[in-house]
């Protein structure tokens, strides 16, 4: 069972609890991106199991009127087994999304997976004509060139700062350089797309900058934040008329995800310690 302290960050262990969380979050005008926890599978079996779980989840979501979509991780669908296994499983999930009218996001993992993930996305976005979105990371030096490749494809693009530690040669490692790259990439997206731009950030400065770009260029966009992070701001932005989505993970592998959230920010660490100690 998930302890109360982790429940702020994880929408339960089963699809049923994730659906209930989605229903409640929707009431505040915030959509939900569901992610079944699981990553770095080195064998075909678990990757196929999670693929089947997503197909089932999507079929069930398609029967509801929830404002929700899904987001998959390449290493959950088998990219560490082989690119071919990932491509096959990813295509199955996208096919299910297309059949049931459920949007399918793809997260971006470490830089060794970028080429394969981009190729797979380009292929499904072209074949299915939309209904899919891809995350790109502003900390990678290559991202601007990748955006030029992606910008005219159907579907959506989620820009994030990047969560993986990468070498200086391929990535900006200084926070201010990452922030600058984020602004430049966001500007490029707003200038070159009428819609389908997603700002995956909790940073009030980036969110304000996106609004500025929207006023200047008119492109439609959405803001995406994680469950348990700045939820008050998520609801406020939705009340102000912005399209907001909350990325909500669920599943039995909640512990490692929760500890990652706790480690990355001292406020979360304090919050977790207080909850555990009851002070």
Of the pair 61, 135, the CB lying nearest ligand FAD is at: 135
Cβ of residue 72: shortest distance to ligand FAD, in angstroms?
Answer: 10
Cβ of residue 107: shortest distance to ligand FAD, in angstroms?
Answer: 3
Of the pair 164, 259, the CB lying nearest ligand FAD is at: 164
Tokens of 120: 């797979």
Of the pair 51, 224, the CB lying nearest ligand FAD is at: 224
DSSP 147-170: HHHHTTSSSEEEEE---S---TTT
Does the protein bind ligand FAD through residue 201 (CB under 6 A)? yes
Candidates 3, 45, 204, 218: give the one binding ligand FAD (CB under 6 A): 204
Could you tell me which of 225, 203, 205 has the C-alpha nearest to residue 213? 205
Does the protein bind ligand FAD through residue 133 (CB under 6 A)? no
Active-site residue 158, yes or no? yes
Could you tell me which of 49, 54, 107 has the C-alpha nearest to residue 81? 49
Q: Is 204 exposed, middle or buried (0-12, 13-18, 19+ CB in 10 A)?
A: exposed
Does the protein bind ligand FAD through residue 271 (CB under 6 A)? no
Paired with 247 in beta bridges are 33, 226
Euclidean distance between CA atoms 251 and 17, whole angstroms:
10
Give the Cα-Cα-Cα angle 143, 147, 152 (nearest 5 degrees). Answer: 170
Does the protein bind ligand FAD through residue 218 (CB under 6 A)? no
Candidates 50, 55, 107, 222: give the one binding ligand FAD (CB under 6 A): 107
Residues that bind ligand FAD (CB under 6 A): 107-108, 135, 137, 160-164, 200-204, 224-226, 229-230, 247, 265
Q: Which residues are catalytic?
A: 107, 158
């Amino acid at each position: 069972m998930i302890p109360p302290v982790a429940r702020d960050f994880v929408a339960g262990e089963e699809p049923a609890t994730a659906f209930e969380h989605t229903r409640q979050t929707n009431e505040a005008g915030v959509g939900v991106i569901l992610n079944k926890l699981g990553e770095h599978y080195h064998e075909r079996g678990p990757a196929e199991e999670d693929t089947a779980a997503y197909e089932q989840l999507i079929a069930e979501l398609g029967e509801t009127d929830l404002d929700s979509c899904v987001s998959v991780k390449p290493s959950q669908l088998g990219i560490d087994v082989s690119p071919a296994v990932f491509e096959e499983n990813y295509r199955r999930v996208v096919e299910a999304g297309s059949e049931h009218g459920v949007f399918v996001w793809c997260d971006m993992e470490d830089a060794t997976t970028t080429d394969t993930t981009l190729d797979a996305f380009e292929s499904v976005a072209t074949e299915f004509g939309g209904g899919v979105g891809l995350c790109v990371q502003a900390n990678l030096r290559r991202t601007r060139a990748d955006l030029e490749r992606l910008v005219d494809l159907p579907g959506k693009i989620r820009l994030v700062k990047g969560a993986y530690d990468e070498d200086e040669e391929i990535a900006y490692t200084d926070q201010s350089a990452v922030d600058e790259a984020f602004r430049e990439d966001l500007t490029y997206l707003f200038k070159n797309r009428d819609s389908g731009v997603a700002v995956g950030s909790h940073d009030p400065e980036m969110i304000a900058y996106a609004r500025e770009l929207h006023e200047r260029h008119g492109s439609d966009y959405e803001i995406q934040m994680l469950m348990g992070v700045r939820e008050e701001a998520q609801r406020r932005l939705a009340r102000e008329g912005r399209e907001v989505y909350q990325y909500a993970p669920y599943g039995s592998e909640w512990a490692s995800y929760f500890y990652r959230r706790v480690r990355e920010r001292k406020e979360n660490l304090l919050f977790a310690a207080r909850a555990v100690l009851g002070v």
